[in-house]
Amino acid sequence: MTATHTTTADSARSGLRFIIIGAGMSGILSAIKLREAGLDFTIYEKADRLGGTWRENTYAGITCDVPSHFYSFSFALNPDWSRQFSPGAEIQAYFEDVAHRYKIDEDIQYGKAVTGAAFENGRWQIELADGSTDVGDFLIAATGVLHHPAYPAIEGLDEFEGAAFHSARWDHDVSLAGKRVGLIGTGSSAIQITSAVIDEVQRLSVFQRTAQWVMPVPNSDFSDEERAAFRRNPESMQKLRDEVNRSFTEGFANVLGDAESPVMHAIHDACVANLENSVKDPGLREKLRPNYRAACKRLIMSGDFYDAIQRPNASLVTEGIERVEKSGLRTRDGKLHELDVLILATGFRVDQFVRPMNVTGRGGVVLDELWKGGPFAYMAIMVPEFPNLFMLNGPNSPVGNFSLIEVAELQFQYVMRMVDQVRSGSCRAISPSREAMERFDIERRKAAETTIWNTGCNSWYLDARGLPTAWPFTFDRFRKEMGRPRFDDHDMR
Ligand code: N01
């Protein structure tokens, strides 16, 4: 079966309607692509501003650790990125600018939280928190991966008398200048925070439960001349994007599934060398040395963390946390670490995906029930019995140290091929068959066993049973699958 391409006029006549949930990166992408195709859509955004993760995460030092020219829409390259890895505020401004330039910002309905979606009578019936309803033929869940902050279950957290906040809920009213600051966590967020605040605070105590491998990645500025050259010659940006894409694909994303590949070992060696060469004090060096393979957890990219943690006003606390008290944090050795501010860089509840929305598919199948053992999706996009529902950067997507913009763009190609089946009149509703889902899941689970994420560490990549959930195959295979959907695996009615 082949997909047919309809013209804008054809699709306008078709009267098909899309509902996009979320105006973050992938919601903006969806809207732009649907507009280009002449299709009708509405975007519901629960906040009062677009930007998703870049709106919500405003912590000190926030930077995207994927090179900016790769973390850009392929159709909206940006000559003005200030650095190789640009700060979060610049990325937020980029998304606002793109949404404005493509005139999709006018179509976003802000302050509208979708609470429920049900596939009834061949269409998606939507309920919103304000009591309003809507109906669409297609539903795009562009709801993000890392969205719901995870708060640590540490006794006494409410008793702390200083300021305390999660890294994704940064309190800009709290000045850290001259304060005794405690930072729980050593993930990508905490590492960036450490480097950003160390010059400002009186003392920074980093509470490390698990050490992290750090890849030394300097972050240089683009000079005025370089930016002018990008403006004069946009092809040079395209070339740079293609080069970074290729090197991230070949030098990382294609080999994550093979923990024993020479590339994975070379990455490990580079991280070991970085630790050995950068950390002078042998005691501190051993505290910072992980006991698992590099890239088993999401690899930390930083050119300055080791410098920051060796400053005289920094301390790395590896003793377990006993409880939080009024004036600070008590570790299991009985020591009280007195603090004025406590920052929880403790990550996200990654298994939530489209939840807490209540999503019901064909025949009353409830998504929450189906996913009670953990979320899954055929080709990381669709779920059986949930016709015409597409998830971008959803369960089983490639998530490790790669441009999620590239991932979403590829996924959207797939979405449009599915939509084309409906536009061409082949069917009204399309979803993967249960058999195809099961086959895909069995293959995915098997492949997950040999991934680097399964080499003996704990991370948000793992499901409740300890198996990595992200796309375990090569990224080349992902590209291929996205470009050439297996229509025979789908139930079309
Ligand atoms: O969160 P994390 P994050 N007691 O889950 C510790 C993306 N991101 O916000 O390792 C003590 O990685 C926990 O310890 P452990 C990126 O995909 C991207 O830093 O579980 N400690 C860990 O150290 C990233 O992977 C960028 O033992 C506790 C930390 O908190 C993802 O977001 C930048 C604890 C959580 O680390 C999440 O990163 C930043 C407890 N009770 C983030 N609970 C880019 O640059 C948790 N921890 C694109």
Element of type H or E holding 272:
helix 262-278
- Reported as a pLDDT band with limits 50, 70 and 90, residue 356 is confident
Report the SS3 class of residue 279.
coil
Q: What is the mean pLDDT of the chain?
A: 95
Same domain as 307, residue 379: no
pLDDT at 8 exceeding the cut of 80: no
- Do 289 and 363 belong to one domain? no
304: left (phi over 0), alpha (psi -120 to 50) or beta: alpha
Residues 36-54 have pLDDT tens digits of 999 999 999 999 999 999 9
**Residue % of the chain over a pLDDT of 90:** 93
Residue nearest to atom 48 of ligand 1 (CA): 64
Distance between first and last Cα of the chain: 14
For atom 16 of ligand 1, which residue has the closest CA? 188
Rounded CA-CA distance 341/329 in Å is 11
- pLDDT (tens digit, 9 = 90+) per residue, 92-112? 999 999 999 999 999 999 999
Residues 197 and 306 in one domain: yes
Domain end marker among 297, 326, 344: 344
CB 43 within 8 A of CB 23: yes
* pLDDT score of 12 more than 90: no
Indicate if 307 and 426 belong to the same structural domain: no
CB atoms under 10 Å from CB of 402, counted, come to 23
Question: Which residues, judged by CB distance below 6 Å to any ligand atom, belong to the binding site of ligand 1?
Answer: 63-66, 146, 152, 154, 167, 184-190, 209-210, 298, 321, 345-348, 458, 460
Average pLDDT, integer, range 112-131 = 97
Instruction: Provide the percentage of residues in the chain whose pLDDT is more than 70.
Output: 97
The conformation of residue 153, written as its DSSP 8-state character, comes to: -
Does 79 reside within a domain? yes
Q: Which ligand 1 atom lies nearest to the CA of residue 152? A: 41
Does residue 474 fall inside a structural domain?
A: yes
Residue that terminates a domain, selected from 328, 344, 360: 344
Which tens digits make up the pLDDT trace of 167-180? Answer: 999 999 999 999 99
In sign, the C-alpha dihedral spanning 104, 106, 112, 118 is negative
- Ligand 1 center to residue 325 CA distance, Å? 23
| Closest residue CA from atom 18 of ligand 1 | 188
pLDDT at residue 5 in the model: 38
Residue 248 domain-assigned (yes or no): no
Residue 146: what pLDDT? 85
Q: What is the pLDDT of residue 3?
A: 35
Residues 451-467: what's their mean pLDDT?
95
Helix or strand holding residue 73 (H, E): none
Residue 305 and residue 418 share a domain: no
Spell out the alpha helix ranges (H) of 279-347: 282-287, 305-309
Distance 123 CA to ligand 1 centre (A): 39
Q: In Å, how far are 5, 137, 185 from 490, measured between CA atoms?
A: 19, 17, 43
Domain total in the chain: 2
Domain boundary among 321, 344, 367: 344
pLDDT at 6: 39
Residues 133 and 174 in one domain: no
Per-residue pLDDT, 1: 31
Q: What gap in Å lies between CA 393 and CA 346, rounded to an integer?
A: 21
Residue with tokens 């992902």: 478
Residues 335 and 356 in one domain: no
Residue 470: how many CA atoms within 13 Å on its side-chain side?
28
Distances (CA, A) of 452 to 188, 211, 260, 400, 463: 18, 17, 8, 11, 15
CB 382 within 8 A of CB 418: yes
Domain assignment of residue 124, yes or no: yes
Ligand 1: which of 84, 90, 346, 350 to mutate, judged by most atoms within 8 Å of the beta carbon?
A: 346
Please give the distance of CA 1 from its chain centroid, rounded to a whole number: 34
| Inside any domain, residue 316 | yes
Encoded tokens for 307: 């410098």
The pairing of strands 114-120 and 389-391 is unpaired
- Domain span holding position 203: 157-213+257-344
Mean pLDDT of 139-160: 94
Mean pLDDT for the stretch of residues 458-477: 95
Whether residue 368 sits in one domain with residue 338: no
312-351 pLDDT per residue, tens: 999 999 999 999 999 999 999 999 999 999 999 999 988 6
Least confident interval from 7-16, 34-43, 185-194, 406-415: 7-16
Show the beta-strand stretches assigned E in 46-132: 108-110, 114-120, 123-128
Q: Evaluate whether residue 268 is within a structural domain.
A: yes
- Same domain? For 329 and 419 the reply is no
Rounded to the nearest angstrom, the distance between the alpha carbon of 287 and the centre of ligand 1 is: 18
The answer to whether residue 3 is domain-embedded is no
How far apart CA 93 and CA 87 sit, in angstroms, is 10
Q: With a cut of 50, say whether residue 7 has pLDDT above it.
A: no
The token pair at 440 is 């895909």
pLDDT value of position 353? 80
- Give, using CA atoms, the residue closest to atom 3 of ligand 1: 347
Please check whether residues 273 and 420 belong to one and the same domain.
Answer: no
pLDDT, tens digit, 9 for 90 and up, residues 425-434: 999 999 999 9
Number of C-beta neighbours around residue 122 at 10 A: 12
Residue-level pLDDT at 67: 97
E-assigned strand segments in 121-219:
123-128, 133-136, 138-141, 163-166, 180-184, 203-207, 214-215
pLDDT of residue 14: 64
- Do the domain assignments include residue 222? no
Which residues sit opposite 207 in a β-bridge?
Answer: 184, 317
Backbone phi, psi, residue 163, to 5°: -85, 140
**Higher local confidence (pLDDT), 19 or 146:** 19
Q: How confident is the model at residue 355 (pLDDT cuts 50, 70, 90)?
A: confident
Q: Please state, in angstroms and rounded to a whole number, the distance separating the CA atoms of residues 65 and 285.
A: 24
Do 193 and 93 have their domain in common? Answer: no
CATH number of the domain residue 175 falls in: 3.50.50.60
Domain check: are 14 and 56 in the same one?
yes
